Amino acid sequence: MKDKDMDDTLKSEESVLPESHIFVLPGDIIGTVEEFILGNNTFKHGGNVYSTTTGEVNINKKNHVISVIPKVGIPPMIENGDIVIGRVSDLKNAIALVEIALIEGKGEREIVNNQQAAIHISNVKDKYVKDIYYEFSQFDIIKAKVIDTKLMRLSTSGSNLGVIKAYCRKCHVILTKPSGNENKRDKLFCPVCGNYESRKLSSEYSGPAA
Amino acid sequence: MSEKPEKFIDENGLRLDGRKIDQIRDIKIEIGILNRADGSCYLEFGNNKIMAAVYGPREVHPRHQQKATKAIVRYKYNMASFSVEDRKRPGPDRRSIEVSKVSREAFEKEIFTELYPKSAIDIFIEILQADAGTRTAAINAASLALADAGIPMRGLISSCAVGKVDDTLILDLNKDEDNYGQADMPIAMSTDGKITLLQMDGHLTQEEFKKGLEMAQQGCREIYELQRKALIDHYNNTQKEIIQDAPVESVKDISTESATEEDPIEDPVISDDVPDNGNTVNDDEIKEDIPDEKEEVILDEDEDNPAIVSDETEDDTLE
């Protein structure tokens, strides 16, 4: 009971001291271990808490966490919940393998913990998927959400997630989205050979440049 | 090449370039000047001109060099062929390989390499103009470039040399003092005073070594303050450019408020702000910031305000 109350107060008020925005550099003392729980970009040495980066001190007075909000570009890391853009490098029976190119909102700097990611057939969309072949193809550029960083698993369930650029399996031309055809929704059309293909499309699909 | 001077230190105790024996050369620092690097710094240290670039953490090539538990640090010190009076043969040589190795080791323990396993942090140093003490200047530049790249570190590294000419210990040798002097001892030091590099060329007695080390440490501390100022200035300015009402200003705000409200003779910030937010700031920082602010504020009140008032009254009477 008591714990529950505590949790509620923690959630209700994000108590951050306004005067805590002090500019610090790597190696600056920002507190002592008796005062705070160490948050991001901090380390302890000999009973003191230090900053590891250049930024502003942030103290959460409710749960006594001290952290430093960096004011420099920090090396981008893939984290759970991130939206990533990548290319389908291979298709297996139940998974699509993806090479991640960049994380949305984290700049174009090289990703530190980049490795081959996978979308399992169960994470492609909310509906039944008979065959992953109908949802992705090799070389497709996709947008996906990270659901597990350890095994680097991705999910494309969601209207904005899925294929954002696709190539024709026959002639490798960028496919276009047919307009105004109700029957052919979620289908893509090849402007060169007239081939129709199905994909798990993102609402942000962009065909060839007009 | 210049000839060996007869005397390095004149009767006033000043050196060939007019410095005192414990005075470092002028330093000019520019941070973040290379667009394509993750972090960069251009540094002038006397007549030395150094460019530092940091990349990474990034994939390791060749793959066999990568470590499963930590990032590897690679440091490349390179002198441009035009950096010295006689053209230097380009490319790595015995000297630059050695400088790269000792400088890399000066940084390795200060970087949190364990946060980025299987990756590499690359530091590239280009000496554009050399005038003795390039390795120390390069370390100072690399430290700032690493901070600019946002790589987590235990502190900044500052570096400075001490040497001996005319049987006298001097701080931060220039070219003539280095070429014709009796000893040269570069050191690098972390923010908390750990020595991460120490080399010695020539001869020093035990007493001279002890005194020299202290002088060099003092030099490092002076350089640290300059590095610190350069970083703060750089990020405060870039913040202002991006966002109009920069939140970084709050440091200044606190200090000016307390300086105006409270008795200026007392040191108000330590007594007032610190226990309140449970936040202990670096003592040096407070000492640095507050007196300046106070002076400025007092000057403003003394000079500007009476002037404005008198102007207004004059205007009124005229109208």
Q: How many domains in chain B? A: 2
Q: How far is CA B187 from CA B41, B147, B161, B215, in A?
A: 20, 20, 6, 10
Q: Inter-chain contact A59–B279, Cβ cutoff 8 Å?
A: yes
Q: Identify whether residues B237 and B297 lie together within a single domain.
A: no
Cα–Cα distance for residue pair B156/B170, rounded to 1 Å? 24
Q: Does the structure show a pLDDT above 60 at A79?
A: yes
Domain that holds residue B309: 292-318
Q: Does the structure show a pLDDT above 90 at A124?
A: yes
More confident residue, A144 or A6: A144
Cα–Cα distance for residue pair B96/B93, rounded to 1 Å? 5
Q: Does the structure show a pLDDT above 70 at A185?
A: no
Cα–Cα distance for residue pair B52/B70, rounded to 1 Å? 23
Q: Interior CA angle at A35 toward A31 and A36, to 5°?
A: 80
Q: Identify whether residues B174 and B312 lie together within a single domain.
A: no
What pTM does this model have? 0.78
Q: Identify whether residues B212 and B116 lie together within a single domain.
A: yes
Q: Identify whether residues B178 and B301 lie together within a single domain.
A: no
- Which band of pLDDT confidence, cut at 50, 70 and 90, is reported for residue A209? confident
Q: Identify whether residues B203 and B134 lie together within a single domain.
A: yes
Q: Inter-chain contact B155–A110, Cβ cutoff 8 Å?
A: no
Nearest to B281 by CA among A62, A21, A53, A39: A21
B253 falls within a domain: no
Among B residues 29-88, those touching chain A with beta carbons less than 8 Å apart:
38-39, 56-59
Amino acid at site B141: A
Contact B24, B160 (CB under 8 A): yes
B240 vs A: CB within 8 A:
no
Q: Inter-chain contact A19–B149, Cβ cutoff 8 Å?
A: no
Q: Identify whether residues B303 and B205 lie together within a single domain.
A: no
Q: Identify whether residues B81 and B144 lie together within a single domain.
A: yes
Residues 6 or more apart whose CB falls under 8 angstroms from that of A167 comprise A137, A139, A140, A173, A174, A175
What is the structure's pLDDT at A32?
Answer: 92
CATH number of the domain encompassing residue B201: 3.30.230.70
B97 falls within a domain: yes
Q: Identify whether residues B184 and B300 lie together within a single domain.
A: no
B265 falls within a domain: no
Contact A72, A63 (CB under 8 A): no
More confident residue, A25 or B254: A25
Residue-wise pLDDT for A40-52, tens only, equals: 999 999 999 999 9
What is the structure's pLDDT at B240?
Answer: 61
The residue out of B229, B244, B259 marking a domain boundary is B244
What is the structure's pLDDT at B241?
Answer: 59
Cα–Cα distance for residue pair B161/B22, rounded to 1 Å? 11
B285 falls within a domain: no
B202 falls within a domain: yes
Q: Identify whether residues B182 and B306 lie together within a single domain.
A: no
Q: Where do we find the tokens 């290379």?
A: B34
B105 falls within a domain: yes
- Which band of pLDDT confidence, cut at 50, 70 and 90, is reported for residue A22? confident
Closest residue, chain B, to A32 (C-alpha): B280
Q: Inter-chain contact A110–B190, Cβ cutoff 8 Å?
A: no
Could you list the beta-strand ranges (E) of chain B: 27-31, 39-45, 48-59, 72-79, 119-129, 157-165, 168-171, 183-190, 195-198, 201-202
Check residue B154 and report its DSSP letter: S
Provide mean pLDDT across the span A84-112.
93
B211 falls within a domain: yes
- Domains of chain A, first to last: 2-70 (2.40.50.100), 83-165 (2.40.50.140)
* Tokens, residue B61: 């090539």
Residues 6 or more apart whose CB falls under 8 angstroms from that of A179 comprise none
- Which band of pLDDT confidence, cut at 50, 70 and 90, is reported for residue A182? low
Q: Does the structure show a pLDDT above 70 at A10?
A: no
Interface test with B, best of A16, A22, A67 (most B CBs within 10 A): A22
Q: Does the structure show a pLDDT above 70 at A204?
A: yes
ipTM of the complex: 0.81
B150 falls within a domain: yes
Buried b (16+ CB within 10 A) or exposed e, A93-125: eebbbbebebbeebeebbbbbbeebbbbbebbb
Interface test with A, best of B113, B252, B279 (most A CBs within 10 A): B279
Q: Identify whether residues B181 and B305 lie together within a single domain.
A: no
More confident residue, A183 or B18: B18
Q: Interior CA angle at A28 toward B280 and B127, to 5°?
A: 165
Across the 319 residues of chain B, what is the mean pLDDT of every consecutive 10-residue run?
Answer: 85 92 96 95 96 95 95 97 96 96 96 95 97 96 96 96 95 94 96 95 96 96 96 82 47 43 42 43 44 43 43 43
Q: Identify whether residues B240 and B296 lie together within a single domain.
A: no
Buried b (16+ CB within 10 A) or exposed e, B208-245: bbeebbebbbebbebbbebbbebbbebbbebbeeeeee
